[in-house]
Structure 1
Amino acid sequence: MNTLLRSCSRLNQRGIHYLTVAERLIRLNLFFYDELQFGPHHEPREHHANHDGGDEDPENHYLHHVLAQRQGSAVPLALLWLELAKDVYLNAHGVFFAGQLLIRVLPGQGQQIVIDPLNGRSLSPAHLAQRLHPGDARMAALVEQRMPGLLLQTATPREIIAHMLRNLQAIFMAQRDFARLLGVQNRLMTLLPTDWETLRERALTYRQLGLVERAIEDLQQYLAHVHQGPCAQEAAQALEQLRMQR
Structure 2
Amino acid sequence: MTATRDLEGRARARFAELLGRDPVPLDEAALAIAQEEYPALEPEAYLTRLDELAARVVRRVPGPVRAASALRALREVLHDEEGLRGNDDDYYDPRNSFLNDVLDRRLGIPITLALVYMEVGRRAGLRLEGVGFPGHFLAKYVSPGGVEVFVDAYHGGEMLSADECVARYKARTGGKDLDARYLAAVSPRQLLARMLQNLKRVYAERKDDVRLFWVLDRILLVTPDQREALRDRGLAAARLGGAAAAIRDLEAYLSLAPAAGDAEEVRAAVAGLRAGRGALLN
Alignment of 1:122 onto 2:159 = yes
- Contact 2:84-2:107 at 8 Å conserved across structures: yes
SS in 2 for 1:56: coil
Deviations 1:104-163 (A, max 9, x none): 1112322101121212112342443433662413x3xxx37x86xx67322111111111
In 1, Cα distance between the equivalents of 2:145 and 2:77? 26
Q: How does 1:10-49 map to 2 (within 5 A)?
A: 10-18=56-64, 20-42=66-88
Evaluate the alpha carbon distance shift between residue 213 and residue 156 of structure 1 in structure 2; reply closer, same or farther with a 3 A threshold: same
Q: Give the Cα–Cα distance (whole angstroms) in 2 for the partners of residues 62 and 27 of structure 1.
A: 24
3-state SS of 1:29 partner: helix
Q: Does the 8 A contact of 1:17 with 1:89 survive in 2?
A: no
8 Å Cα contact 2:61-2:70 kept in structure 1: no
Q: Does 1:98 find its partner at 2:134?
A: yes
Q: Which moved more, 1:119-128 or 1:77-86?
A: 119-128
Say which SS state the counterpart of residue 113 (structure 1) adopts.
strand
Contact 1:93 1:104 in 2 (8 A): yes
Q: Distance in 2 between matches of 1:98 and 1:236?
A: 35
Task: Work out the number of aligned pairs and report it.
Answer: 229
SS at match of 2:126: coil
- For the pair 1:187 / 2:195, whether they are aligned, the reply is no
Among the aligned pairs, what percent are the same residue? 28
Q: Mean Cα displacement is larger for which, 59-68 or 11-20? A: 11-20
Match of 1:75 among 94, 101, 111: 111
CA contact 1:16–1:24 (8 Å) conserved in 2? no
Distance in 2 (CA, whole Å) between partners of 1:115 and 1:78 is 8
Aligned equivalents of 2:211 and 2:182: distance in 1? 37
**Aligned residue for 1:48?**
none
On the 8 A contact 1:16/1:88 being kept in 2, the answer is no
Most deviating of 229-238 and 101-110: 229-238
CA deviation after TM superposition for structure 1 residue 94, in Å: 0.4
Task: Give the conservation status (yes or no) of the 8 Å contact 1:29–1:120.
Answer: yes
2:20 equivalent in structure 1: none
The separation in 1 between residues aligned to 2:171 and 2:63, in whole angstroms, is 38
Q: CA deviation at 1:223?
A: 0.8
Task: Tell me if the contact between 1:220 and 1:239 (Cα under 8 Å) persists in the aligned partners.
Answer: yes
Give the Cα separation in 2 of the matches to 1:29 and 1:100. Answer: 18
Does the C-alpha gap of structure 1 residues 210 and 129 become closer, same or farther in structure 2, counting only changes over 3 Å?
farther
Q: CA deviation at 1:15?
A: 3.6
Separation (CA, whole Å) in 2 of partners of 1:151 and 1:234: 35
Runs (5+) with no aligned partner, structure 2: 1-45, 278-282
SS of structure 2 residue aligned to 1:115:
strand
Higher relative contact order by CA 8 Å / sep ≥ 6: 1 or 2?
A: 2
Extract unaligned runs of 5+ from structure 1: 44-53
Greater Cα offset, 90-99 or 176-185:
90-99
Equivalent position of 1:3 in the other structure: 49
Change (3 A) 1:104 1:15: closer
Flag the 1:32–1:190 CA change in 2: closer, same or farther, 3 A: same
Once the two structures are superposed, the pairs formed by residues 202-241 of structure 1 within 5 Å of their partners are 202-241=233-272
Q: CA RMSD in A?
A: 2.2
| C-alpha displacement of 1:177 | 0.7
How big is each residue's C-alpha offset from its partner over 1:12-55, in whole Å with a ceiling of 9 and x where there is no partner?
A: 23344535321221121111110111111227xxxxxxxxxx61
Contact 2:61–2:73 (Cα < 8 Å) also in 1: no
- Cα deviation digits, residues 79-102 of structure 1 (max 9, x gap): 111111113322320011214321
| Residues 140 and 151, structure 2, Cα contact 8 Å, conserved in 1 | yes
Cα distance change, pair 110–57 in 1 and its aligned pair in 2 (3 A): same
Q: Secondary structure, in 3 states, of the residue corresponding to 1:130?
A: helix
